[in-house]
Structure 1
């Protein structure tokens, strides 16, 4: 019978060792880092599993763990480069001011996400900041919790006890934008929703629908179309809406990337923005002021939220190191409605 080939060290993670030994990732990590608080029998079990799997600990991670400086990971899969750039500016600036080490990892699917998390664990991070949509991933939070890693969620619409978070009130932001369009005289207002896996997208949609209902207006089903927070999804949504017989006079997009796509489609069809169609966005990313006409949008202080996320993380790490774990701290930051050139009264007739 052919012998089973050993997995190479490049493909084996501490999670694999923990699974083989039947222990938690935190226990396996303690053994590999010579933590004296692990019993001898447990230590032998983990080391046997590591030997069997040909596991080799990450030396760079060990070097970092010898430092007292906080090590903060940022794990992201957000499709909006503009949003991420703003967030990273805040995270890196605050990290530099505090002396914290910031490590950034990108992921996409479940497999790459697991690998990215392992790379962060191997470098000895004390905590991980999760921007959207990972901030709403129960699996991601669970795996980091099993590894005894502190989490701070950015822009989640569903904060949970014990996990610090920073966000804005997405429901009220969408409601304010809808009311702005109503005040201009629009009644035929359409919505391009965001990624349904991201809780703020759900809150923004609900804020729109509820505000229209309070104004005594029923939104036709065809005036609410799906989106994914990407420019491409905005193109598809805009094409659908602008070909309707009862075309809306205003479109509220759940983020700026999709709003920019609406403007492009409208221009391609010979429609004037805002003369024939008002278009609004959400987030106030750089694209809002680099397209023509400039976008009316909801300003989300993304850079400031990045700074706040680092401060929340540092507070959690200090408490953890002193043996005093604290409950999650949830901060709601202020948004503002920024009126620019893309919204105006509806066309007459």
Structure 2
């Protein structure tokens, strides 16, 4: 069979062996040049780099690993149950997408790869699950997303193995890089926005107690209410866990009060969408009868009717910062372990307005 009959041949992949042969050096020498390793003469470095340029070689992870102890891989841990629930529901939440966007692009800038593993933070076997992932990947660092960053078993295990890690959405003291937005200030800004519109009775739906950020948001809401001279009413705080169903139940309890709120802040987009649905089912107009503010600002809230006013979390920038700090550490560069607090945005849309007089 001729080449014409069998179709065009695929171009031969250039490997580190081809570079070594072209430069007339060993595989280990090529790897040391790629990784910036020691004990290579400048003349040899130039020969290797010239060979790389001539052949168009792109170093693989395997080639980069040959020259040292680094894996050039970062491991990101996400909560299994919530991630799978979000994917299966198809509700348009994109927390994981934004986390991967920020982390993967930052890794690509430095020749790294980011691999996402789903771990059940509630499992009695969490140490075994994490240990298996660490043994398989040998990551240079680990990115912990909520609530993993506040799980002492996970953080203790990583610290005990001297594996650098970053905690997104976690501000607690302890090992690792803490990276977050100012959740208390964000909730305060949402509350102040409603107060500025003239609202006095403002309800608040909390997130899950597993997340440190839930408590911070509640404190921010309470602080803003107090600063505005508004009396604290415990009945205006309803418990949620970030899910749609918990948001619906919390909203029903708030709107059933003898003196219901004219505005509600929900600690997640899913709960705010539930609040919108419950209000409509009760024949209430949004924002005429009740204003709603959300957290996260995932795509779906932009297309609700009305579109929801929301606190936008810097999810992608937080993941990028986490990756950058871990790569700095792997490179032996100094990286501050002080809390990295990134700015949020309050996006005002059609779901908030002055209360009816």
**TM-score (normalised: structure 1):** 0.76
CA distance in 2 between counterparts of 1:172 and 1:339 reads: 16
Question: How far off is 1:325 after superposition?
Answer: 7.3
Q: Is the 8 A contact 2:104 2:114 kept in 1?
A: yes
Residue among 243, 246, 265 paired with 2:256: 243
Q: Which has the larger radius of gyration?
A: 2
SS at match of 1:111: coil
| 1:86 counterpart = 2:98 | yes
CA distance in 2 between counterparts of 1:116 and 1:65 reads: 24
SS at match of 1:92: helix
**TM-score (normalised: structure 2):** 0.74
Residue among 118, 124, 140 paired with 1:106: 118
Question: How far off is 1:303 after superposition?
Answer: 1.1
CA distance in 2 between counterparts of 1:318 and 1:347 reads: 59
Partner of 1:207: 220
Q: Residues 316 and 283 of structure 1: is their aligned pair in 2 closer, same or farther, counting only changes over 3 Å? A: same
Partner of 1:196: 209
CA distance in 1 between counterparts of 2:63 and 2:273 reads: 46
CA distance in 1 between counterparts of 2:196 and 2:352 reads: 11
Partner of 1:74: 76
CA distance in 1 between counterparts of 2:171 and 2:267 reads: 14
| 1:135 counterpart = 2:149 | yes
Q: Which residues of structure 2 form unaligned runs of 5+?
A: 1-60, 87-93
Residue among 298, 316, 323 paired with 1:303: 316
Partner of 1:293: 306
Q: Is the 8 A contact 1:191 1:224 kept in 2?
A: yes
Partner of 1:95: 107
Partner of 1:31: none
Question: How far off is 1:107 after superposition?
Answer: 1.9
CA distance in 2 between counterparts of 1:311 and 1:297 reads: 28
CA distance in 2 between counterparts of 1:271 and 1:157 reads: 38
Q: How many residues align?
A: 283
CA distance in 2 between counterparts of 1:75 and 1:113 reads: 11
Q: Residues 325 and 117 of structure 1: is their aligned pair in 2 closer, same or farther, counting only changes over 3 Å? A: farther
Partner of 2:345: 336
Question: How far off is 1:111 after superposition?
Answer: 3.3
Question: How far off is 1:201 after superposition?
Answer: 1.0
CA distance in 2 between counterparts of 1:94 and 1:265 reads: 41
SS at match of 1:116: helix
Question: How far off is 1:66 after superposition?
Answer: 4.8
Q: Which stretch shifts more, 75-84 or 205-214?
A: 75-84
CA distance in 1 between counterparts of 2:154 and 2:245 reads: 27
Partner of 1:282: 295
Q: Which runs of 4+ in 1 moved over 4 A?
A: 61-69, 324-327
Q: Residues 97 and 210 of structure 1: is their aligned pair in 2 closer, same or farther, counting only changes over 3 Å? A: same
| 1:346 counterpart = 2:352 | no
Q: Is the 8 A contact 1:299 1:336 kept in 2?
A: yes
CA deviations over 1:197-255 (Å, ceiling 9, x no partner): 21111111011111111111113211101111122211111121122221110001112
CA deviations over 1:34-55 (Å, ceiling 9, x no partner): xxxxxxxxxxxxxxxxxxxxxx
Q: CA RMSD in A?
A: 2.2
